[in-house]
Amino acid sequence: MTSQNSGNRKSRLPEAPATRPAESLKQDILRHVLYSLGRDTERPDRQTVFRALALSLRDRLVEKWIASQRDIYSRSSKRVYYLSLEFLPGPFLRENLIALGLENEAREALTDMGFGLDDVADEEYEPGLGNGGLGRLASCYLDSMATLRLPAYGYGIHYAYGIFYQLIKEGRQVERADNWLRGGTHWEFERSHYVHPVRFYGQVREWVDEQGRLRHSLENATTVMAMACDMFIPGHKNDYVLNMRLWAAKTSREFEFSFFNTGDYIGAVEEKIRDENISMVLYPNDEAPEGKELRLKQQFFLVSATIQDIVRRFRKKGIAWDQLPRKNVIHLNETHPAVAIPELMRILVDEELLTWEEAWYICVRTFAYTNHTVLPEALEVWPEDLFRRLLPRHLQIIHEINRRFLHDVRRQFPNDPNILGRVSLVHEGESRWVRMSHLAIVGSFSVNGVSAHHSEILKESVFHDFYKIFPERFNNKTNGITPRRWLRQCNPTLAWLITEHIGPEWLTDLAQLKKLEPYVNSEGFHRAWMEVRLRNKHKLAEYIRDKNGITVMPESLFDVHVKRFHEYKRQLLNVLHVIALYNRIRSSPGSVTVPRTYIFGGKAAPGYYMAKHIIRLINSVAYTINTDPRVGDLLKVVFLQNYCVTLAERIIPATDLSEQISTAGMEASGTGNMKFALNGAITIGTHDGANIEIMEHVGNENLFLFGLLSHEVNEMRSQGYNPRLFYERDSELREVLDMIAGGFFSPSEPHLFRDVVESLLNHGDRYMVLADFRSYVYRQQDAANAFMDQAAWARMSMLNTSRMGFFSSDRAVDEYAKDIWGVSGV
Ligand code: GL7
């Protein structure tokens, strides 16, 4: 239908637009197929169609982004800069279509061209520019900042290689490089003329200028250029788009005339390669920094380029420096970008010639810091020598910050001389280390943890001294997740069912899910709810059959443990229980009545021996159980390789039981726990991180908590925890451990897993696996019993979803905006 043939019907029908949105989208796709991708429009392949669709959406995003930037500028709003070494956005296509309100149009346009939207969307390869929860949180927050129309910018690094691709080969994790840029990028704009110099190494020159001032400058520095790559993050149907700016390293040589004059061509090219290495690869260590020079370089690279961008924008305003904190807030996502504090000091003191006091006044009103972990090995420190070599001026500035800080602390606590050593920014012992968390706390006006429980632990133990010094800085911001991706997009049929009953407002006001509660007693709603969930399980079962060749029963209890592999997350505790169930099935076949499908997924840091070994153990156990004819359909164990955002989107909507079983006091918050509960899975978990708040919201009767509380963990440790006692007292546990140690699951290498058992029995069981085993087994039995009553289970599931409104990242970001950043929507 075109607008010309409307004739005299025109008066009766609403005016049709010149072209329908679906038609105009189709024209754009075809135009990009031809002119941007250089392909024949007659028979484009699916990948080409995906790219052309992405480019068509980018066109729409950039228009809205320009308009949003103009809005921010004309209102002279205070800006938020969110600095993070990691972002884990996941695939963009579906999310952008939903945000732009173009899903149906895209489906129609593609159908017209002979393609299905789902197939085309599956062509997208996600950028894995983060390790896990911390990076994914940053992306959820950008989504919410855009939806709340905040004047915000995300800043990160454009790694050429993201988190490795995980293969499971013969039960073992094998890492492959993740060449996410292989197919080109379709969402971003590379700003090749938009670069900032970043300077490392060299020596500090001290000199006195004509006005008699002591000046510092860096001589013989190495310069690398940071090039901006911009990706757009749209708010939900609000025409507002913000920018995630990722810096890619480029050699400065190409920007210097001298490049052409050096005789040493190959030498120059080698230098180029070395410089551009800075943004080559994301470090794959979750919660345990590697301490490599290149990593510190990456941190400074992000910080220096970003601060230059911030300062450039601020200068355009032509207002005094002391207004900087009134117009800007810089948020540090963990300590990774904390070198921003001495970098801003350096610019203000060395380049802008402010006094130290003036500069410091500005700094501590500009920075805010979020802590995401209390694991001692994850608290970031750098050897002072390395710092001195790479960032000599910054180390001097850190020393001066420390000197003044310790001077104040000495005055505040004259009777506690030991406090100085404890809070110093530099750890002094046999070797000297710069403590990044201390720098971040001293240089920020706000320090927050990521769940109520975690924030208390920060105040009571990890940062207790700092809490005494700066009590007003400490606060909590419980994490949240975006309901657009983690319900609407990943579980469209459930989302549709919800919208059908309570309208679509929940998408931007998740507390509205409460309105589902009256339906909890409606039989029709029950049925529909469980049908959707079962359909999701069927789809996952198909995926498992395709990928792993294992047939699982969709009606069985899907018990899911997906997240990074780390001993504190206790995948080992889970597998001990799996083995216990297996033994029960073997010894008394009638004793296990609820068939279960165990699904594991997650990556281990490539150098983390025990985490990788546990992956191997799980795969060995899976093989033994899945091939044992006595087990049949009662028990299946599946390890899905390469857990990532895309895979999470498949698994979460199909989960019945969500495993959140970290040692109490060790998981700062968790966000996977929220994604599962929002989609109607029931949690089995410990009293840790955000599990506690989930329990407070969904009700103790709608999840299964177990195990030691964090103060009990500490008490047990300080009284001398003896894991052997649990082994000796519990015959079921003993049998399980003896089987592992005796090679039951590794008959060709009987000693293979002996060290796993030894870590529990002879090396202290740092993560209290044995102490929690029995209560975990009991709670698992409760879960199985509950699952037998499908109506009651459905009720629990619906109540979980309906009561998860608090865990929206919109709520979390709104709290950040009001309590910390002092900004509101434009
Ligand atoms: C983490 C915490 O471990 C996790 O509990 C939290 O939910 C997340 C986001 O706040 O941050 N800290 C951390 O270093 N990583 C996390 O996932 C990698």
Do residues 691 and 720 both lie within one domain?
yes
Where residue 557 sits, what CATH number does that domain have?
A: 3.40.50.2000
In a domain, 669, yes or no: yes
Spacing, Cα 690 to ligand 1 middle (Å): 11
- pLDDT value, residue 589: 85
Whether 58 is a known active-site residue: answer: no
Whether 372 is a known active-site residue: answer: yes
Specify the ligand 1 atom closest to the Cα of 286.
18
The active-site residue out of 675, 697, 779, 803 is: 675
Assess whether the C-beta atom of 653 lies below 6 angstroms from ligand 1: no
In a domain, 562, yes or no: yes
How far is residue 131's CA from residue 564's CA, in Å, rounded to a whole number?
8
Do residues 232 and 347 both lie within one domain?
yes
Domain of 409? Answer: 76-90+126-479
Assess whether the C-beta atom of 370 lies below 6 angstroms from ligand 1: no
How far is residue 390's CA from residue 409's CA, in Å, rounded to a whole number?
29
How far is residue 470's CA from residue 488's CA, in Å, rounded to a whole number?
41
Whether 547 is a known active-site residue: answer: no
Spacing, Cα 447 to ligand 1 middle (Å): 16
Assess whether the C-beta atom of 446 lies below 6 angstroms from ligand 1: no
Residue (of 144, 145, 146) closest to 65 by Cα position: 146
Assess whether the C-beta atom of 373 lies below 6 angstroms from ligand 1: yes
- Summarised one tens digit per residue, pLDDT across range 688-724 is 999 999 999 999 999 999 999 999 999 999 999 999 9
Spacing, Cα 688 to ligand 1 middle (Å): 13
DSSP letter at 36 equals I
Assess whether the C-beta atom of 286 lies below 6 angstroms from ligand 1: yes
Residue of 333, 447, 450, 567 to mutate, ligand 1, most atoms within 8 A of C-beta: 450
- pLDDT value, residue 261: 59
Q: Whose CA is nearest to atom 9 of ligand 1?
A: 134
Assess whether the C-beta atom of 366 lies below 6 angstroms from ligand 1: no
Spacing, Cα 134 to ligand 1 middle (Å): 5
Residue 655: which region, alpha, beta or left (left: phi > 0; alpha: psi -120 to 50)? Answer: beta
Specify the ligand 1 atom closest to the Cα of 373.
12
- pLDDT value, residue 89: 97
Which residues of the chain are modeled with pLDDT < 50? 1-14
DSSP letter at 81 equals E
In a domain, 7, yes or no: no
How far is residue 818's CA from residue 635's CA, in Å, rounded to a whole number?
49
Spacing, Cα 356 to ligand 1 middle (Å): 35
Do residues 139 and 47 both lie within one domain?
no
Do residues 444 and 492 both lie within one domain?
no
Spacing, Cα 131 to ligand 1 middle (Å): 10
**Is 667 buried (19+), middle (13-18) or exposed (0-12) by CB count in 10 A?**
buried
Whether 477 is a known active-site residue: answer: no
Specify the ligand 1 atom closest to the Cα of 370.
10
Q: Whose CA is nearest to atom 14 of ligand 1?
A: 287
Spacing, Cα 813 to ligand 1 middle (Å): 17
In a domain, 380, yes or no: yes
Do residues 474 and 494 both lie within one domain?
no
How far is residue 126's CA from residue 365's CA, in Å, rounded to a whole number?
37
Whether 70 is a known active-site residue: answer: no
Do residues 590 and 680 both lie within one domain?
yes
Whether 514 is a known active-site residue: answer: no
Q: Are 775 and 707 in contact (CB under 8 A)?
A: yes
Q: Are 93 and 342 in contact (CB under 8 A)?
A: no
Assess whether the C-beta atom of 287 lies below 6 angstroms from ligand 1: yes
Assess whether the C-beta atom of 812 lies below 6 angstroms from ligand 1: no
In a domain, 673, yes or no: yes
Domain count, the chain: 3
C-alpha angle with apex 486: 146 to 815, nearest 5 degrees? 45
In a domain, 703, yes or no: yes
Assess whether the C-beta atom of 132 lies below 6 angstroms from ligand 1: yes
Specify the ligand 1 atom closest to the Cα of 86.
18
The active-site residue out of 94, 250, 569, 603 is: 569
Spacing, Cα 661 to ligand 1 middle (Å): 15
Residue (of 492, 474, 475) closest to 483 by Cα position: 492
Spacing, Cα 374 to ligand 1 middle (Å): 10
Spacing, Cα 667 to ligand 1 middle (Å): 7
In a domain, 820, yes or no: no
Do residues 394 and 411 both lie within one domain?
yes
Assess whether the C-beta atom of 123 lies below 6 angstroms from ligand 1: no
Bridge partners (DSSP) of residue 598 are: 559, 637
Q: Whose CA is nearest to atom 17 of ligand 1?
A: 133
Integer angstrom CA distances of residue 119 from 49, 466, 820: 10, 53, 43
Choose the final residue of a domain: 479, 497, 532.
479
Q: Are 198 and 306 in contact (CB under 8 A)?
A: no
Do residues 315 and 368 both lie within one domain?
yes
Do residues 461 and 572 both lie within one domain?
no
Do residues 312 and 381 both lie within one domain?
yes
Assess whether the C-beta atom of 133 lies below 6 angstroms from ligand 1: yes
In a domain, 783, yes or no: yes
Do residues 120 and 158 both lie within one domain?
no
Specify the ligand 1 atom closest to the Cα of 454.
5
- pLDDT value, residue 266: 77
Choose the final residue of a domain: 64, 99, 125.
125
The active-site residue out of 64, 158, 372, 484 is: 372
- pLDDT value, residue 256: 59
Do residues 409 and 509 both lie within one domain?
no
